[in-house]
Amino acid sequence: MTRYIFITGGVVSSLGKGLLSASLGALLQARGYSVRLRKLDPYLNVDPGTMSPYQHGEVYVTDDGAETDLDLGHYERFTGVASRQSDNITSGRIYQQIISKERRGDYLGGTVQVIPHVTDAIKEFALADQDNIDFMLCEIGGTAGDIEAAPFMEAIRQLSIDLGRGRSIFVHLTLVPYLAAAGELKTKPTQHSVRDLRSIGIQPDILVCRSEHPIPDSERRKMSLYCNVSETAVIPALDAPSIYSVPVNYHKEGLDVEVLKAFGLAHSQVPDLHRWEDIMDRVENPEGEVTIAVVGKYTGLRDAYKSLNEALIHGGIANKVKVNIEWIESELFEQEDAITKLENVNAILVPGGFGKRGTEGKIAAVKFARERGVPYFGICLGMQMATIEAARNLAGHTEASSTEFEEHDNPVVGLITEWVSADGSIETRTEETELGGTMRLGAYTAHLKEGSKTAEIYGNTVISERHRHRYEVNVGYVEKLEKAGVLFSGMSPDGALPEIIELPDHPWFIGVQFHPELKSKPLDPHPLFASFVKAAVAQSRLV
């Protein structure tokens, strides 16, 4: 019997519902329960795939090729449970499905309304693919009172009744702000937020209160009284030094105990959190530090590279070092002498991205890393930039480029028009294909060359990694580039698509077409990131 935990937010956005959900999932796992986590997003986009990173942050990609909210990355990193297409829904997808049914006549001429049709579709999504798990955690995007979130709030209210007593609870995350002028915490915003929920029939069972200052017992009693929540179920959530401290902190405040109590389950057992405590120790007490430059296009918003940021931290955890990240806008390197900004870093990483802006700066960063022997990691577009740099400066193709940036008769990187999908079917694309959901998406297999550095790092010659891109390195250049010293150490099973390049004579120079950061976890750092940070440590000792 699957029990449901509905997680809502109030007062303001960006309080950390995703981290709360992920941390609670990790705590329940530490008590021996199985969990699955879902995100219900009220915005009208069908998915975040075509949204600007500056508006939405990173697009997280699942093994089955779904473009999803970045919170699913938190879910996977904290619980190790692989997310799926069925774990993220938006208003856009809900309305798209309903309108398609209406056009087909599936409603037999009936009037299509928010209640029951939209709410029923949301409930159907929430109930799908339960897999006999113990707990399903459903995070509702947005903030209580948002007009676009109203159908989702109504749906989970209905669902709590449909499930029956003891099968669901509501956890509400709010803000308890501190007014410096008054010198006190204010509980009124939380009271108003809960009042909004109660007005539509939702009574929170647990309040989680974000605050920059400790919350006195007197204020907890006040929120308990006015919000109709047990005093022990008012859980403080203070700022933490690291997001990987959050599960242990929530346990210390009694969150997991209150959840089990709300379901009438035994809660005397102490959860096994030793692995999380070890991670906290490694993060808070590193044995050294390294500086890694990330030369990208969206460095003004860290959430655009959320998984990348965390994967680098995981690499630091694996090596017991602190990773200092210098976020550098790639366009900067298109200016004369700006490349000197890389002289004091221990490693360089060029991440994925789209469009021409800043690409020449990325190529300049690749050239610096190659010529100076600085560890280099290119991901997706970062691999393509490394290939173009090698074609220009090692193989003599001075005009080497990508058709993503300009028309070219014989491009080193070009639009992929046909490939074998993960299920064995043939996927085709053209220049006129719609943007949404039309890239090579999800997990694909790659075969690695025996004896290559990449095969040594993975400890295997067959790997599966997640992709998100439209352009590929032209396989016709493989022979020319290998004669110039580039090793194509990973290829698609049919040999048509280059997946990994490396420079054998370089201390650490690897480019990959996929996104390894999407599968890295604090409890299981991705081997490429662990090896890359290790190389940065070695480089730091040479300086």
Residues 150, 73: Cα–Cα separation, whole Å: 25
3-state secondary structure 409-469: CCCCEEECCEEECCCCCEEECCCCCCCCCCCEEEEEEEEECCCCHHHHHHCCCEEEEEEEE
Separation of CA 436 from chain center: 18
Amino acid letter, residue 345: V
Instruction: Write the Ramachandran bin of 20: left for phi over 0, alpha for psi from -120 to 50, otherwise beta.
Output: alpha
CB 78 within 8 A of CB 30: no
CA dihedral 111, 112, 116, 119 (to 10 degrees): -170
How far separated are the first and last CA of the chain, in Å rounded? 58
Residues 187, 217: Cα–Cα separation, whole Å: 12
CB 179 within 8 A of CB 79: no
Q: Active-site residues: which are they?
A: 380, 515, 517
Structure-block tokens of residue 281 = 């120790």
Structure-block tokens of residue 18 = 């995703």
Burial of 111 (0-12, 13-18, 19+ CB in 10 A): exposed
Please state at what angle helix 91-104 crosses helix 150-163, rounded to 10 degrees.
80
Residues 348, 366: Cα–Cα separation, whole Å: 8
User: Which stretch of DSSP H or E encloses residue 359?
Assistant: helix 359-372
The DSSP letter of residue 46 is S
Q: Tokens 């179920």 belong to which residue? A: 233
Q: Tokens 């690695």 belong to which residue? A: 448
Separation of CA 13 from chain center: 18
Residues 282, 314: Cα–Cα separation, whole Å: 10
Among the listed residues 220, 196, 152, 206, the one whose alpha carbon sits nearest the alpha carbon of residue 21: 206
The DSSP letter of residue 118 is I
3-state secondary structure of 186: coil
Q: Residue 361 — φ and ψ, nearest 5°?
A: -65, -35
CB 292 within 8 A of CB 285: no
Residues 365, 382: Cα–Cα separation, whole Å: 10
Residues 490, 462: Cα–Cα separation, whole Å: 9
